[in-house]
Amino acid sequence: MPTRDTANLVGMSVSALEPETAFARLAALVDGRRVVALTGAGMSTDSGIPDYRGPDSPPRNPMTYQQFMGDAAFRRHYWARNHLGWRFMDATVPNAGHRALAALERSGTVTGVLTQNVDLLHTKAGSRAVVDLHGSYAQVRCMTCEHRVSRISLAERLTAANPGFAESVSAATGVEIAPDADAVIEETAHFRVVDCDRCGGILKPDIVYFGESVPKPRVAAAYAMVDAADLVLVLGSSLTVMSGLRFVRHAAKHGTPVAIVNRGATRGDEFATVKLDAGCSQTLTALGAHP
């Protein structure tokens, strides 16, 4: 439960706060509360994974569920790019923000993490109570028989079907990595896609695409975390998509304070008790060191 006089911070205006003042209010809100963190792409930018909507991010058009399932050309284009990009994500390591959040869980302050990211960096950093809202890059699912395989096992099949592809593309153009384990390449017409080796169905990353719904059991687990918390701390998310914004709205509706740490405006700013325009790593590291 809240300690000191932090309860009187609930409902304060978040406009025109100096960074030092905003951080002091954030630290006061966190103090003595059970905190559930809701993280977005801005949480992982310090690990070298780009985001979709940050202030310095180039325009990006992620593939939708309808495109992937409805057009073999889209699937070929996706798997060619992912065949290069997933290895980069697999090799990425947690940053100071991930480690600080895991430390706050070990200390009992953070009770859970809801993440919109698919990079598994919270788990790699040592966080245990993690709900991967959008799934992860590390698994692939058959859309017909529901059989799941690891991404590395699929990589072996794709490499066998496309010998020399990765080496030839990298040598010719270099590889720019985009979000969601994707690589920015254009020449994919000759890439060969493989199907489920059990039933011949379409294989899809076990990731929730734009236009696709988060599985209901996952949503229920996330709501349970929010209901058990005294504070929702949004980290590095613009809350543009409803999969994250709904938890902020739910918390606000039930009187649970919301704090937001993000570079730039978010769709949840109107619900925030405290808003800090700052990076996640520096803020969480400072929170961890705060007396």
Neighbours of 58 (CB within 10 A): 10
Residue 267 annotated as binding site: no
DSSP for 143-174 reads TTT--EEEHHHHHHHHHHHSTTHHHHHHHHH-
Confidence class for position 158, pLDDT limits 50, 70, 90: very high
**Beta pairing class for 203-207 and 135-142:** antiparallel
Q: Using CA of residue 66, residue 216, residue 97, residue 274, what is the dihedral sign?
A: positive
The residue whose two tokens read 């080496």 is 167
The answer, yes or no, to whether residue 51 has pLDDT greater than 70, is yes
Residue 264 annotated as binding site: yes
Residue 128 annotated as binding site: no
Convert the pLDDT of each residue in 138-157 to its tens digit: 999 999 999 999 999 999 99
Q: State percent of the chain over pLDDT 90.
A: 73
Q: State percent of the chain over pLDDT 70.
A: 86
DSSP 112: E
pLDDT at 6: 37
How far apart CA 278 and CA 291 sit, in angstroms, is 20
For the ranges 44-58, 166-180, 234-248, the lowest mean pLDDT is seen at 166-180
Residue 196 annotated as binding site: yes
The answer, yes or no, to whether residue 100 has pLDDT greater than 70, is yes
The answer, yes or no, to whether residue 7 has pLDDT greater than 90, is no
How far apart CA 25 and CA 31 sit, in angstroms, is 10
Convert the pLDDT of each residue in 108-141 to its tens digit: 999 999 999 999 999 999 999 999 999 999 999 9
Average pLDDT value over all residues in the chain: 88
Residue 190 annotated to the active site: no
Confidence class for position 13, pLDDT limits 50, 70, 90: very low
Domains (range + CATH), the chain: 6-49+94-134+214-289 (3.40.50.1220), 65-92+137-207 (no CATH)
Residue 81 annotated as binding site: no
pLDDT at 107: 96
How far apart CA 3 and CA 10 sit, in angstroms, is 13
How far apart CA 266 and CA 248 sit, in angstroms, is 11
Convert the pLDDT of each residue in 202-224 to its tens digit: 999 999 999 999 999 999 999 99
Q: What is the mean pLDDT of residues 81-87?
A: 87
For the ranges 57-71, 100-114, 148-162, 231-245, the lowest mean pLDDT is seen at 57-71
Name the active-site residue from 77, 83, 122, 134.
Answer: 134
